[in-house]
Amino acid sequence: MPLPPLDTIPSEVVSLDDYEALARGRIEPGAWAYLAGAAADEITLRENRAAFERLKLCPRIFQDLTAASTRLSLFGREYAHPVFIAPTAFHRLFHPGGELATVLGASAMEACMTVSTQAGTAIEEIARAATVPPWFQLYIQPDRGFTAELVKRVEAAGCSAIVVTADAPLHGLRNREQRAAFRVPPGLEPVNLRGMEPVPPADRIFGSHLLARAPTWRDLAWLGSLTNLPIVLKGVLDPGDALLAESHGVSGIIVSNHGGRTLDTVPAAIEALPAIASALEGQLPIFLDGGIRRGTDVLKALALGASAVMVGRPVLHGLAAAGATGVAHVLKILRTELEIAMALTGRATLPAIDRSVLWSL
């Protein structure tokens, strides 16, 4: 089980990488393998970071920054900044307070939390604790009737959007996790899935019940008929899929490779972003998920067409280190770094950020 949170954050913890190093010593090795690992050789996991490092910024001088702001509007709501919390499972693996501690930290920084289908806390509890209405990440389950009832619960709880994860009809083979023989500990379960018809176990992939009942574009249209909430499709890397999603009525796209956890050797999320932004031509808001570790990364994503970004593992690092305080501090670091990067590249507002922020030879 996770260690108790630190009473105070050490003064030398000043970056998201510092939080990762601190968290590693506070998480049981199997749980760390689950959190930090990715599919196969973890090439995509590393590329998510390396691709950001290859992009350079172009500083500007003597720009008017008197009306500087990071505010944005999405789906009829105002948000204080473009850093959202990505959906991640089982927060009690990393902190006794679980998702309730995470949402407390998010609320302190006016950040929107996306609650995972595999949260260990009921969506109603999390939504009540949030000051910014959360989003809910939905896997369309083989039990479609249960899925429809879950959507009703999400609406009744006050969530403001549904994030449909599309890139994981089955789990990737995460070798680091396999070597650590990680298993979700007793007493921890995806409580929002209680009562669902179980999927029979299978000893193969092709021909299994899981693939036979995996969702298709028809199911996305069906889901849209159940709710008036915005539907944001997560796990898009191909521009053709982005256009299909638009034609099926989604409200937004999340460019993501699932943190490298499903299929290895796919492109870094930031590498896939420009072609998708070009294809959609501003018709839908786009989010970038994967590899964000600095405010400069946020700026680069916005420059290449994202409206906002989502952050997953670093939030859990903050949670493991110092509970709600750690989550809030991780978000504060990113927001502060973003504001500094905007000021030094001469961009007072998010709409002012475009490709000219990036250095080109």
Q: Can you give the pLDDT at residue 205?
A: 87
Rounded-to-integer distance, Cα 114 and Cα 104, Å = 13
Residues in the chain: 361
Radius of gyration over alpha carbons of the chain, in Å? Answer: 20
Helix (H) or strand (E) holding 287: strand 286-289
Phi, psi (degrees; rounded to nearest 5) at 135: -100, 160
- Beta strands 135-138; 252-256: pairing state: unpaired
Q: Grade residue 6 by pLDDT with cuts at 50, 70 and 90.
A: confident
pLDDT in tens, 60-78: 999 999 999 999 999 999 9
Provide the residue type at 87 as one letter: P
The answer to whether the beta carbons of residues 269 and 313 sit under 8 Å apart is: no
Q: How far is CA 114 from CA 17, 40, 46, 294, 340, in A?
A: 22, 26, 24, 20, 26
pLDDT in tens, 205-228: 888 888 888 999 999 999 999 999
Helix (H) or strand (E) holding 226: helix 217-226
Rounded-to-integer distance, Cα 201 and Cα 203, Å = 7
Checking if the pLDDT of 7 tops 70, the result is no
* CATH number belonging to domain 16-63+71-195+208-352: 3.20.20.70
Q: What DSSP letter does each residue of 103-145 carry, written as one string?
A: HHHHHHTTPPBEEPTT-SS-HHHHHHH-SSPPEEEE---S-HH
Residues annotated catalytic, as ranges: 258
- Indicate the average pLDDT of the chain: 96
pLDDT in tens, 256-277: 999 999 999 999 999 999 999 9
3-state SS assignment for residue 211: helix
Task: Give mean pLDDT, residues 126-131.
Answer: 98
